[in-house]
Amino acid sequence: MTPEAILLSIRDQRGEGSYRFSCPECLTTIEKPADRKVVALLLSAGVELADVGTEDMDHEPEWESYEPLEVHPGGPPFTSCYPATVLVVAVLLAIGLASLGLLAVLIIALVRHVKLLASSLRRFQDEVRPILEEIQQDSESAQDKMQRMSR
C-alpha cells in the first residue's frame, strides 16, 4: 500500500486524529485512530494530510518535534482486515468443535447401550441356565433309559 492510498485527518490541537484507507483485500474503508506518534510516522512516510477537522484548531499541531522515523522497506501489506483464510479457519474450527461435541454424545450413548446390552445378556443367561440344566438332566435320564432298554 502506498502513502497515496492513506488519508490522514488531524482533529485536535494535540496533533491526534485518524487515518483512512481502503483494504486491498476486501475493499472496505478502514478508519483507525492516530495518536501523535502515528501521525508523525504517517507524515514522515508521505501520507497526505486532509483538511477535515483542522478549521477549529488555533495553531498547527507540533508533529515536527518528532525525530524522523526509520523507513523499513518490504513487509506485509498494511491492512486491518483478516483474509478469507482466517474466516475459513474459524468456520472449520467451529465445525470441528461441533463435530467433537456430537462425537462425545454418540460415544456416551454407545457406552450406555453396551452396558444395557451386557446387563440384558446376564439376565438372559440367568433365566436360560436353569432351563438348559433341566434339559440336560432330562437328556441324561433319557440316555440312561435308552441304554437300559437296549440291554
**How confident is the model at residue 141, as a pLDDT?**
94
**How confident is the model at residue 146, as a pLDDT?**
93
Number of H helices, E strands in the chain: 2, 4
pLDDT in tens, 56-106: 444 444 444 444 444 445 555 544 456 678 888 899 999 999 999 999 999
pTM over 0.85: no
In the chain, what are the domain boundaries?
Answer: 3-81, 82-151
Query: Residue 51: which pLDDT band, with cuts at 50, 70 and 90?
Result: low
SS (H, E, C) the chain: CCHHHEEEEECCCCCCEEEEEECCCCCCEEEEEECHHHHHHHHHCCCEECCCCCCCCCCCCCHHHCCCCCCCCCCCCCCCCCCHHHHHHHHHHHHHHHHHHHHHHHHHHHHHHHHHHHHHHHHHHHHHHHHHHHHHHHHHHHHHHHHHHHC
